[in-house]
Structure 1
Amino acid sequence: MNAEEILTGMARAWNAGDGAGWAAHFAPDADFVDAVGRVQHGRDVIGAEHQKIFDTIYRGSELELRLRDTRRLGEDVYLMHSTSSLDVPAGPRAGHWEAIQTKIVQDGLILAFHNTALVDLADVVHEDEELARRSPQEWRHA
């Protein structure tokens, strides 16, 4: 699978609430670091953990994945960055969420996946007046 096919398949599985379908895009011994820093090792664990969130806090959510870039690292191995928009209709994670992902892909399967929530640093530093006056990269995500 190429990068677009991987992202399309992952979004389809997420939107169907299908943990096994989501995990099918990972190598059997893949590593997944979620947006809150938990490490999941192996396709079976990744599938089971995603099924838990599909059945609970992300029930009925809609995910959109967009390819940002790819770079070849070696024969049949590439680095992929994607961005995502997640709309969660209810529950403790209700709302709209943006994130960026880094993936290492080999032979059409994800070996490593790191998901990072996108937040505006301006929101984080708003109580620190001195820091708030500074504007590295405008304190905003792209």
Structure 2
Amino acid sequence: MTVDEVISALERAWNDGDGDAWAARFAEDADFVDVVGRVQHGRAVIAAEHQKIFDTIYRGSRIEIRPVSRRPVGDAVVVRTESTLEVPAGPRAGTTRAIQTKVLRGGEIVSFHNTVRIDGAAFAGHDEELAARRPLGWNDRGR
């Protein structure tokens, strides 16, 4: 599968609430790091863990995944995507934006890291000055 086909298949699987279809895009021994930092190893685990969230906190949710960049690295492709998730009800109701880094080899995802995008000021303890700094400049306050 091409990168665009993989992304489309992931989006379809999520919107169908189908954990097996979601995991089908992953290599058998893939790693998936979710938005709270849990590492899921292997297609079967990725399928089961996604089915849990499709059946509970993300029931009825809709996701849009947009490719941002891609670059070859050896026999793999590193792909960055952005997503917008709309959850209709429950504890995660509302809109969540995230960014993902995927490594694909042979049309399969071998590594996937998902990170929720949050307001920089909130993350920085409502320190607007710190939040406005570029990430590498966060340590230049002498702290």
In the superposition, the TM-score normalised over structure 1's length comes to 0.90
AA in 2 matched with 1:19: G
1:90 is aligned to 2:89? yes
User: Who is 2:139 aligned against?
Assistant: none
List alignment gaps of at least 5 residues for structure 1. Answer: none
Q: Per-residue CA shift, 1:77-117, capped at 9, x if unaligned?
A: 11000000000000111110000000110000000000000
For 1:53 and 1:71, locate their aligned partners in 2 and report how far apart those are by CA, in whole Å: 31
SS of residue matched to 2:35: coil
User: Who is 2:128 aligned against?
Assistant: 132
1:12 is aligned to 2:16? no
In the superposition, the TM-score normalised over structure 2's length comes to 0.89
For 1:89 and 1:44, locate their aligned partners in 2 and report how far apart those are by CA, in whole Å: 27
Q: 5 Å matches for 1:91-130?
A: 91-125=90-124, 127=126
List alignment gaps of at least 5 residues for structure 2. Answer: 136-143
| Runs of 4+, deviation exceeding 3 Å | none
1:46 is aligned to 2:43? no
What's the CA shift for 1:126? 5.0
For 1:52 and 1:30, locate their aligned partners in 2 and report how far apart those are by CA, in whole Å: 19
Give the CA RMSD over aligned residues.
1.4
Seq. identity, %: 53
For 1:51 and 1:133, locate their aligned partners in 2 and report how far apart those are by CA, in whole Å: 41
SS of residue matched to 1:98: strand
Count of residue pairs brought into register by the alignment: 134
For 2:55 and 2:65, locate their aligned partners in 1 and report how far apart those are by CA, in whole Å: 20
For 2:124 and 2:111, locate their aligned partners in 1 and report how far apart those are by CA, in whole Å: 31
Q: Per-residue CA shift, 1:21-50, capped at 9, x if unaligned?
A: 000000000000000001000000000000
